[in-house]
Amino acid sequence: MKKAGWFFVLAIAVLMVLPVAAQKTELTFWTWRPEDTEKYEKLLATFEKQNPGITVKITAIKNTEYNTILSAALSGGSGPDVFQSRAYGGLETFAQSGYIESLEKWVPELKNFSKVALKGATSIKDGKIYGIPFATQTLFVFYNKNIYKELGLKVPETWDEFLANCAVAKKAGYQALANGGKDGWTLEVMMGSMCPNFYGANDFYDAVVAGKTTFQDPRFVSAIAKLKELTPYMPELYMGVSYTDMQSAFINEMAAHFIGGSFEAGYFASQNPKLEFDVFPGPTAQKGDPHYVSVYADGNFSMNAASKQKEAAAKLLRFFAGKDTGDFFIKELQQVSTVPGVDTSASPYITKVLSLQKYSTPYVFLVGFRYNQPTGSTLIQAALQGLLAGKIDAAEVCKQVQEGIATYYEPFKKK
């Protein structure tokens, strides 16, 4: 009897506690930026203050393992309520598998986002929006202002001026370019920064996506050949120079230029606060031509289609689509937020990046050709390694890319 009595006491206690607990909603949120976890916690604290009763538990997973872990969790039905999702092809994988909720009806703010940003969050299959884009990235050239001052250099406009600056820097004992070729993706970034002005930016992009031309178009071949002209200014044994080597060369003021993406700035500034750097867009053939930069959406915030707390998740997503998050990206992360109408005056760097985006073109292989294997990125990265190592020429690079993509890309098959 005594035992049964205890049981009732416990049962009643549990029943009394349960409804209280149920009022609190705990959302789970996953990010691939472990380095930014603390910053995100601050942002989410703001959200929790604005939405009493909802708490958010943040889980950060290493960038390179994120996709694998997320897809395992989602297909096992145990994924987070809200998570960072990749843009373009990386989003398509999850969206077309039915793991992501389409957001039009949950987040009305999406209407105000720019088309370019939304493209990375839109499925090419059904045209629905599966995420809230959080940042755009722009590819261009970082330069060390002190080295430029010391050598009396001016920001180059044309390709020849750029090479001339490189030659001066090299002669003065600096690495003219920090860039190496060990990590293939840094070569794709180099292509994205340097080539659009030579292959005809958006004209070529639209034509090649529509299948009206191919990657063996003479414009594209000659643009790729330009990259080869940079090799004399790359570091010694550049094929062995990895991404981290590149970063440390620029951060330690050993290199005058770093061809890279807008995402680098935060890291540069935090690693060497004394480093004075600025950016300029890829040089053009002639003075006065518009300088195009490759731009792409970095990623999105998405909702798990199997979430049991969609109302609360939608609240978090609307928060991610709002000003607080926009400011957070600019001030805390030094990223170009896609939230419309965010004040960028606090950061001259981001104001500059946005001004360069005036002439923007999609980052060709990521935006257009990352939906099937072998992706355009895989192909160009490997082929560019061949080019810079001197194993193949530009025509062969373009041939390999074209043939690889043509194995699945319908508009190319008709040719």
What residue ranges bind another protein (CB under 8 A)?
63-64, 66-68, 71, 74-75, 89-90, 92-94, 96-99, 180-185, 188, 235-242, 245, 370-375, 377-378, 381-383, 385-386, 389, 391, 403-404, 407
* Shortest Cβ 174–another protein spacing (Å): 15
Q: CA separation (Å) from 407 to 204, 362, 375, 380? A: 21, 23, 11, 15
Evaluate whether 31 touches 60 at the Cβ level (below 8 Å): yes
* Shortest Cβ 129–another protein spacing (Å): 18
Evaluate whether 98 touches 305 at the Cβ level (below 8 Å): yes
* Shortest Cβ 380–another protein spacing (Å): 9
Q: Strand pairing of 255-261 and 132-144? A: antiparallel
* Shortest Cβ 188–another protein spacing (Å): 8
Nearer to another protein by Cβ, of 303 and 321: the residue is 303
Nearer to another protein by Cβ, of 335 and 378: the residue is 378
How many angstroms separate the CA atoms of 281 and 352, rounded? 11
* Shortest Cβ 356–another protein spacing (Å): 23
Nearer to another protein by Cβ, of 59 and 96: the residue is 96
Nearer to another protein by Cβ, of 109 and 183: the residue is 183
3-class state of residue 29 by DSSP = strand
Exposed / middle / buried, residue 282 (Cβ in 10 Å: 0-12, 13-18, 19+): buried
How many CB atoms are closer than 10 A to CB 317? 26
Nearer to another protein by Cβ, of 180 and 196: the residue is 180
Q: Strand pairing of 25-31 and 82-86? A: parallel
Nearer to another protein by Cβ, of 144 and 385: the residue is 385
Nearest residue to 197 via CA among 230, 226, 176, 168: 226
Contacts of 328 (CB under 8 A, 6+ apart): 39, 42, 43, 337
* Shortest Cβ 85–another protein spacing (Å): 13
